[in-house]
Amino acid sequence: MSRTRPSAAQFVVLLLIAVIGFFVVYPLALIVINSFNVAGPGQAPVYSARAWAQAWQGPGLGQALWNTVAVGVCYQAVSFPIGILLAWLLGRNKVPFGRALEFGFWLSYFLPPLSATLGWMLLLDPRGVLNNFLASTFHVTGPFNIYSFAGIVWVHLMARDISEKVILLTPAFRNMDAALEEAGYTSGADRWRTLLRVTLPIMTPALVIVFFLGFVRLFESFEIELLLGVPFGFYVFSTKIVDLAQQVPPLLGQATALGSVTLVLLLIAMPVQRWLTTRRSYTTVTGRIQPAMMDLGRWTWPVFALIAAVVGLLVVVPLASVIAGSFMTRFGFFSLAHPWTLGNWQRTLSTPAFDQSLFNTFEIAIVSAVVAPIVFSVVAYVLVRARVAWGRGVLDFLLWLPSVIPGALAGLGLLWMFVGTPIFRPIYGTIWVLVIAVILNGMTLSTQTLKAAFLQLRGDLEESARMSGAGWLRTYFQIVLPLIAPTLIVVAAIKFMYAANATSNIILLATSDTRTLSLLALGFVADGQREAATVITVVITAITTVMAILVRTLGLNVGLRPSR
């Protein structure tokens, strides 16, 4: 886009603002408008500020807000430095079986949060495996309790937070030009000083974006707090909203009023992340790129053991636990005369809703994984390369909006949009409504991840192609996309995972005919059928693992190859 006529670039930006703005701002506007609607369900609208006043005066709101921030700060403070260290070790150093270890973090990220939560519940429940083992072997009485603040933070770290940072940052570290670090070594700096003074400052765009993606999710988390927090009266912002919406009669006005508050988070995050990523040049991929890996020497095998231990905690432990739970006669009870059975699998897989849910899951996941990377790569490229007088900041703002709207409220806004807009009514109740919801849900992560990749590409790569006579489209598809192919594959895999695990953002849009496996599992949990829920989560995990293997295999054959 750097050589595109300003008027053409401006038109593209305005077109993207119009299209994206409609699907993002319109549902958001419906949320805000209905937050003032104090009428009951099915009644004519009555608008008043009473819902806002009642929301802020309601019991437990201040504590829920504090709980949300406390949980988020704790798992961010732990996962961010750990994720950076692990990504740097895998992306810039020769670690034995490094690709296999990196794939382990992919598996952890693809593991459904519900599955990871159930797995750790079986292990760390007051009557769980570890407490029973310590009591019978060392006569230590129940030191672990998963239903606690520490338990919630621990499951966040183990479920997705660490692995997300590793899989997003590792490709950025790997594609860095080795000459930048070699200059640091030549100046007499050791490995750690070079990391702190050279590597990390150059990685600022990727680091800032990954940090803010974790930061804005403070108000998004739902499943973990629902299963682990509600039993001991610990509510966060999202579970408090759902609690209001599920009361009889539902307090939708108060729920949407509370959800609207999350926009304040965006007003803080957007200017800061834009300033940090645009205040200087962070180019690390040029026409003379020399990606290379460094030798760890005597630290090689200790580093391997450390990363392997982390992967084991993230993948092997919860997965083995939830698989075992799927074969238990009653989830978590080992003292029964016959604790193991195949009946859970036989009953669950023969459920009439299983086949339809499986088909729906595949359809939504495949379409989202194909469409989203292509569409959002174009959007990210426009944000980074377009020379326009106005609109780029507005477009970037629109792309951040979905990330700060709790999933249940975003689904509620889309529900109002599809029901209340005549042109959308024909597709309401179809699978395409869920596809749109899933694609919109991952918009921020997809575009910001791709934007970080484009920020690392120097413009001379495209200028050379244009000087050779290539047009914009040919340059984009033959030069730019191959260079960011590893990132595209990451985005596609993440979109597939989102679709397979989506719950809160589609639960209000799904019908009995369009229900997915994740919603089926959540329904089993709500009905107290944890055994059936573990069966479904194991099936989801198997699907996403196979997809991860296919995508990872493809990813090894595209993009830039580091020399060893």
The dotted CATH code for 6-39+62-278+299-331+345-555 is 1.10.3720.10
Residue 465: the pLDDT is 62
> 13 CB contacts (<8 Å, ≥6 apart)?
382, 386, 388, 391, 392, 395
Residue 564: the pLDDT is 42
Other beta carbons less than 10 A from residue 29's beta carbon: 13
Alpha carbons 109 and 315: distance in angstroms, whole number: 9
Alpha carbons 472 and 466: distance in angstroms, whole number: 8
Residue 183, Ramachandran bin (φ over 0: left; ψ between -120 and 50: alpha; else beta): alpha
Please indicate whether residue 91 or residue 302 has the higher confidence score (pLDDT).
Answer: 302
For 135-168, give the DSSP string: HHHH-------SSSHHHHHHHHIIIIIHHHHHHH
Alpha carbons 433 and 315: distance in angstroms, whole number: 32
The token duo for 532 is 């059936």
- Does the structure show a pLDDT above 50 at 288? no
Q: What is the separation of C-alpha 192 from the centre of its chain, rounded to a whole number of angstroms?
A: 30
Alpha carbons 372 and 381: distance in angstroms, whole number: 14
Cis peptide before 143 (omega within 30 of 0): no
pLDDT band at residue 189 under the 50/70/90 scheme: low
Q: Facing residues of 93 across strands?
A: 294
In order of 508, 511, 538, the CA distances from 517 in angstroms are 15, 13, 11
Give mean pLDDT, residues 35-47: 69
pLDDT band at residue 181 under the 50/70/90 scheme: low
Q: Global pTM?
A: 0.73
Residue with tokens 């072997």: 137
- Does the structure show a pLDDT above 60 at 184? no
Alpha carbons 91 and 206: distance in angstroms, whole number: 14
pLDDT band at residue 309 under the 50/70/90 scheme: very high
- Does the structure show a pLDDT above 50 at 275? yes
Residue 531: the pLDDT is 85
Residue 4: the pLDDT is 45
Residue with tokens 């001991």: 232
The helix (run of H) or strand (run of E) holding residue 550 is helix 530-555
CB neighbour class for 349 (10 Å; exposed up to 12, middle 13-18, buried from 19): middle
> 541 CB contacts (<8 Å, ≥6 apart)?
110, 111, 112, 115, 319, 322
Q: Answer yes or no: are the C-beta atoms of 235 and 60 closer than 8 Å.
A: yes
Q: CA angle at residue 152 from 151 to 153, to 5 degrees?
A: 90
Q: Answer yes or no: are the C-beta atoms of 100 and 116 closer than 8 Å.
A: no
Residue 289: the pLDDT is 47
- Among 119-128, 168-177, 291-300, the range of highest mean pLDDT: 119-128
Q: What percent of the chain has pLDDT over 70?
A: 75
- Does the structure show a pLDDT above 60 at 538? yes
In order of 160, 393, 467, 497, the CA distances from 378 in angstroms are 27, 16, 22, 22
Alpha carbons 550 and 545: distance in angstroms, whole number: 9
Give mean pLDDT, residues 23-34: 81
**Is the torsion defined by CA of 531, 532, 534, 535 positive or negative?**
positive
- Does the structure show a pLDDT above 50 at 417? yes
Q: What is the pLDDT of residues 424-469, one digit of tens each?
A: 888 888 899 999 988 888 788 788 888 877 877 766 666 666 666 6
The token duo for 299 is 């630290």
Residue 187: the pLDDT is 63
The token duo for 124 is 């760390």
Q: CA angle at residue 269 from 382 to 193, to 5 degrees?
A: 90
Q: Answer yes or no: are the C-beta atoms of 166 and 87 closer than 8 Å.
A: yes
Q: What is the pLDDT of residues 145-157, one digit of tens each?
A: 999 999 999 999 9
- Measured between alpha carbons, how far apart are the two ends of the chain, in Å? 34
In order of 369, 432, 491, the CA distances from 556 in angstroms are 18, 32, 15
Burial call 385-398: b when 16+ CB within 10 Å, e when fewer: bbebeebbeebbbb
Residue 222: the pLDDT is 75
Residues in the chain: 564
E runs forming strands in 13-172: none
pLDDT band at residue 281 under the 50/70/90 scheme: very low
Of 96-110, 184-198, 225-239, 363-377, least confident by mean pLDDT is 184-198
Please indicate whether residue 555 or residue 201 has the higher confidence score (pLDDT).
Answer: 201
Alpha carbons 248 and 43: distance in angstroms, whole number: 15
> 265 CB contacts (<8 Å, ≥6 apart)?
215, 216, 218, 219, 404
Residue 107: the pLDDT is 81
Reference 325, options 562, 101, 530; nearest CA is 530
Residue 40: the pLDDT is 61
The token duo for 423 is 């042109």
Reference 119, options 555, 550, 540; nearest CA is 540
Residue with tokens 């729906």: 360
- Does the structure show a pLDDT above 60 at 504? yes
The token duo for 54 is 């009642």
Phi and psi dihedrals of 143, rounded to 5? -75, -20
The token duo for 325 is 């739970």
Reference 220, options 448, 433, 502, 491; nearest CA is 502
Alpha carbons 476 and 2: distance in angstroms, whole number: 11
Alpha carbons 328 and 342: distance in angstroms, whole number: 8
Please indicate whether residue 180 or residue 113 has the higher confidence score (pLDDT).
Answer: 113
